[in-house]
Structure 1
Amino acid sequence: MQLKNSVVLIILDGWGIGRQNEADAIFKAQKPTLDLIKKEYPMFSLQASGIAVGLPWNEPGNSEVGHLTLGTGKTLFQYLTRINGDIRNMSFFSNPKLLNAAEYIKKNNSALHIVGLLSSGTVHSSVEHTKALLQFAAQQNIPKVFLHVITDGRDSYPQYAAQMLEELTLKMRKICPQAKIASLIGRTFAMERDNHWERTKIAFDLLVNQGGAFIENPIEYIHSEYSKGKFDYLIDPALVAENGQPIGALKENDVLLFSNFREDSMRQIAQSFVDKNFQYFPNKTPDGLFVLTMTDYLNNLPHNTLFETIFEKETVKIPLAKVLSDQNIKQFHIAETEKYAHVTFFFNGDNEKLFPGEERVLVPSLPLVNFENNPEMSAAEITAHIKETVSEHLADFIVANYANADMVGHTGNFNATVKAVEFLDAQIKEILEVAQKNNWWVLITGDHGNADEKINLFSGKAKAGHNANPVPLHIIHPTVRNKMVNLSEHQLNETSQGILSDVATTVLAIMGVQKPDEMTGRNMLELIK
């Protein structure tokens, strides 16, 4: 086919349209390039949360859902929505996989261990899902039930776990009185996803080898960690013990259930339990251990026989990457480690394999737990790759993720987030210069809000999580210069013109490629006057 135009799609992770107030780090940053873009080129507001991306109403979006919707050009009902629906209609409690696990426990007189993130957000997990699992255990009269709590601090307030655990404990006594808190660990270890296997080993050893401090009161322990200046994501591993022995040690024929619904951050810890070819550290587990994952963490990885996935994923047949591949269009996907899965696996419709003509580059993230001290992250290296690909015309479509606004935003450090935004503005300037020289179109969007709302203006506390704000879509090319969408930024926040699934359709329209019927998004060029 005759290609019309080449496109760079820049995804600024965690970049929403805020209220232009004291909580908005994007508004407070000095960003001359993006300010000029807003004045001279069309800008749209896209819904990136709730029903628009297949989540419950007003539920903040996240990177996984955002990239999946951007790359597939359609709204897919997400795991969170599907699980919530099954809980509401009560089919959750008759799920064959759960019933099978309950029978296994009864047959072997063993225990149920639930491992999951305790968070006020619903990016990776839901407290309601934990409550439903406890209700299931009570209905099935499972006598030994243990909760292994992963503390958050990223998608909830940095020091919120103690309060949440206290509230959960009260609920647990009513729902499932026999259940007990068995262990605690920060998500930095249990939800490691960037191949720092030494962190995963710490979580594995906690669950299998009693590798952690022995404590009596988990809430008091969390407060003691706070007194050392620690945030929830760095809580050191600890086991609740009685008479010098852990109360919830994994034993022969037990059932281990990972309750997070988001897959990417649970893949490593799940692998360590069920991967047949695991090589990263010694991973001997108790004989007969039956492992369940709430969703499909392993994506067809060879696994042990005693393994089940409760909710299977929906398949996407024709994501944007496949549409381009079918037209023999070369494409280039790039991100640093923190977001690499998002521009590859998720953007390609939960597909791990490359499509023909697709090249991927992973830029290593800095080996840091906290990015507030280096808000530039690895953005400059990403920019260098993009400039080379455009100037040498090594591909005709580029999708790039810049993680800065999201990852630094998750620290809750307002000033560091401002610096991250300002550094990104400089990267965009460099990309625009080379794109204009080579007649490329540039689209800039976000996947969800974060950096645009970093302070709770009522309490004054830092906010570390996502929000339900819309995200921008900037369309930049000489042919649309001064062709505007006549709305103020306040109006753009209050009144969205589109949703994330519109981006893929717009990319195809710019490139002159027929949109497949499976894509439901709208061509936003039609709204430019």
Structure 2
Amino acid sequence: MAEKKPTVLIIRDGWGVNPGGKRTAKKDGNASLLASTPYHDDLLKKYPKGSVSASGLDVGLPDGQMGNSEVGHLNLGAGRVVYQDLTRINKSIEDGEIAKNRVLKTAFNKAKKGKVLHLIGLVSDGGVHSHQDQLIALAKIARENGVEEIWVHAITDGRDTSPTGGAEYLSYVEDELAKYGARIVTVIGRYYAMDRDKRWERTKIAWDAIVYGKGKKKDILASEAVAEMYKQDKTDEFLLPMTFYRHDAKRINDGDVVLWFNFRADRARQISEAFLTKPRFTGFKTGRRPNVHYVTLTEYDETYKVPVVFKPELLKNVLGEVVAKAGKKQMRIAETEKYPHVTYFFNGGKEKPNKGEDRYIVPSPKVATYDLQPEMSAPEVMDTVVDKLKGYDLCILNFANPDMVGHTGVVDAAMKACETIDDGVRRVTEETLRLGGKLLITADHGNCEKMINADGSPHTAHTTNLVHAIYVAEDHAKFTVSDGILADIAPTLLDMMKVKPSAEMTGKSLLKKS
């Protein structure tokens, strides 16, 4: 079979462009600039480049809201601005429509018959997986519908927000929940409750806390308990479970209502599977699973047969579909941490592969935190791409390191991550050019370019910074690259492939003939 001339999209996840540049690199902990990245530096000198917006209104989020991996990949693949669940749900709350939602009304009717409404989710204003104001709105509506027992199982953040912001978030939420007779009964860090890499030993700790009340028993406010943990050098992401109220009682019982209020699916699935997998769940020993009415704020998996408050809006004719209809072969590749992003999210929220779409998943390393292995599984990802690329017209490749290591707040490790990726970009680029192909190098959002706050504390969250768009090809001298938004990436790739974009794509090709 003849070798193809591939078009390759390299997504350097979490590699943004800090406007301070070299001037503020050390102060900001700008790992991507502090690292030794000779190949990246050469690319910027030799090839046409532009800047792309990956946050706020440009990706369908509220103005000023940082982007994230789910949002980024949705926009990258859709070729249009995709209005996000955060925005949809906020609007529904603001205009009062959420109070009329039939799924919620049914759930609350079940909960007020002597049962408990359990609200599970991430409590912060990060806006990546959830938002605390949406939790408060749900508690308010539940109370208005006659629900008397409203228990909140609060997952602390420390990753999309400050590592020690949880106590303040919980204090605010406690005051608001008290207005509606709701209370926080569990606190646990997202490291345990929101794992997405099948580290079931972590999920079991969260399950035992939420379902059975196993954890440090506290008789003070949740916010006070978390503040005490900071004095022991514990941070929000890694908090072991603490329980509050009715220490002698099993938390979740038959007939109760469980409502997950995360709007992002990927990190809410493992606990959901422990509740929902039938006839038998094998991830860990659950004990007797309570028979509950289970509800999710958005669709976590199309195979879950549960009520969904906000059903997905179908995205038609995204990049993968257009390429498939053109009779082209495509590969998607990432390590475990970002595999859903180059498949499910990039395909507009559809799990099933397109015709001619092959998927390659490389297991992420089993380490506690990725600063311990900042190269992650990038070498294996590189090897797979170089080995398989010749058989495809299009390759969508994600390097997870800058984002996943950036979240640790360890600058030296993030520098190593960027250096690893620089070698990966070199290897993939050289193979692509050898095959006569073309590349577009970008990111889904910023992260590793700012890892230190103004007060010197670690910055572990995403940023609102722009990201690169670099065009690499033999004919590079014939083109310039315009500035744009993530929705422009899919039309640009189709332009590179000489395939017509779909009518639904409102993005524009960034390539302009010079």
TM bucket (normalised to shorter chain) is over 0.9
Structure 2 residue matching 1:478: 3-state secondary structure: coil
Name the structure 2 match of 1:451: 448
Matched residues in 2 for 1:286 and 1:394: separation? 47
The whole-number CA distance in structure 2 between the counterparts of 1:64 and 1:81 is 14
**Candidates 97, 102, 113, aligned match of 1:96:** 102
Paired residues of 2:4 and 2:393 also in contact (CA < 8 A): no
Which residue identity does 1:460 align to in structure 2?
Answer: G
CA distance in 2, matches of 1:354, 1:163: 43
Aligned ranges for residues 52-67 of structure 1 at < 5 Å?
A: 52-67=58-73
Gaps of 5+ in 2: none
The amino acid across from 1:191 in the alignment is: M
Contact 1:48 1:470 in 2 (8 A): yes
Which segment drifts farther, 460-469 or 273-282? 273-282
User: Post-superposition shift, 1:387?
Assistant: 1.3
How many residues align? The count is: 505
Identity between Structure 1 and Structure 2 (%): 38
Q: Could you tell me which residue of structure 2 aligns to residue 365 of structure 1?
A: 364
Q: Which residue of 2 aligns with 1:157?
A: 162
SS at match of 2:451: coil
1:482 CA displacement:
7.8
Picking from 466, 487, 491, the partner of 1:505 is 491
Runs of 4+ in 1 over 4 A off after TM superposition: 282-288, 482-485
Instruction: Report what 1:333 is aligned to.
Output: 332
Alignment of 1:379-458 (within 5 A): 379-390=378-389, 393-457=390-454
1:433 partner letter: E
Q: Which residue of the partner structure matches residue 346 of structure 1?
A: 345
Paired with 2:449 and 2:415, the residues of 1 have a C-alpha distance of 10
- Which deviates more from structure 2 when the two are superposed, residues 233-242 or residues 14-23? 233-242
1:358-411 superposed Cα distances (whole Å, 9 cap, x missing partner)? 111110100123111211111111111111123xx1212111100101001101
Partner residue, 1:238: 242
Alignment partner, residue 264 of structure 2: 262
Q: 1:286 to 1:428 in 2, by over 3 A?
A: closer
Contact kept, 8 Å, 1:4 with 1:511, in 2: the verdict is no
* 312-321 or 285-294, larger mean C-alpha shift: 285-294
Contact 2:186 2:213 in 1 (8 A): no
Equivalent-residue separation in structure 1 for 2:236 and 2:359 (angstroms): 34
SS for the counterpart of 1:251 is coil
1:332 CA displacement: 1.0
User: Match for 2:462 among 463, 466, 474?
Assistant: 466
- Deviation of 1:209 after TM superposition, in Å, equals 2.3
User: 2:45 aligns to what?
Assistant: 39
Q: Aligned equivalents of 2:492 and 2:442: distance in 1? A: 12
Output the TM-score relative to the length of structure 1.
Answer: 0.91
Q: CA contact under 8 A between 2:371 and 2:405: conserved in structure 1? A: yes
Does the aligned pair in 2 maintain the 1:119–1:125 contact within 8 Å? Answer: yes
Distance 1:343 1:484 in 2: 27
Alignment of 1:172-211 (within 5 A): 172-173=177-178, 175-176=179-180, 178-211=181-214
Tell me, in whole angstroms, the C-alpha distance in 2 between the residues paired with 1:484 and 1:346: 29
Does the alignment pair 1:212 with 2:221? no
Asked if residue 49 in structure 1 is aligned to residue 55 in structure 2, the reply is: yes
Q: Deviations over 1:252-292 (max 9, x none)?
A: 32111100000111111112112334422344666652111
Deviation at 1:484, TM superposition (A): 4.4
Greater CA drift, 283-292 or 26-35: 283-292
Corresponding letter in the other structure for 1:474: I
Amino acid at match of 1:311: F
Q: Give the secondary-structure state (helix, strand or coil) at the position aligned to 1:162.
A: helix
Cα separation, 1, equivalents of 2:479 and 2:38:
20
- The 5 A counterparts of 1:274-353 are 274-280=276-282, 281-283=284-286, 288-301=291-304, 303=305, 307-353=306-352
Specify the alignment match of 2:31 in structure 1: 25
Change (3 A) 1:482 1:229: farther
Native 8 Å contact 1:118 1:150 kept in 2: yes
- Whole-Å Cα distance in 2 between the matches of residues 324 and 120 of structure 1? 38
- Within-5 A mapping of 1:74-113: 74-106=80-112, 108-113=113-118
Corresponding position of 1:488: none
CA-CA distance at 1:415 after TM superposition: 2.0
Give, in angstroms, the shift of residue 227 of structure 1: 4.1
Matched to 1:522, the amino acid is: K
Q: Secondary structure at the match of 2:307?
A: strand
Contact 2:480/2:511 (CA < 8 Å) preserved in 1?
no
Q: Distance in 1 between matches of 2:506 and 2:228?
A: 51
2:473 corresponding residue in structure 1: 477
- Partners of 2:377 and 2:70 in 1: how far apart? 20
CA distance in 2: counterparts of 1:30 and 1:435, whole angstroms: 23
What is the letter of the counterpart of residue 65 of structure 1?
V
Give the residue type in structure 1 aligned to 2:417.
A
Q: For 2:36 and 2:208, locate their aligned partners in 1 and report how far apart those are by CA, in whole Å.
A: 46
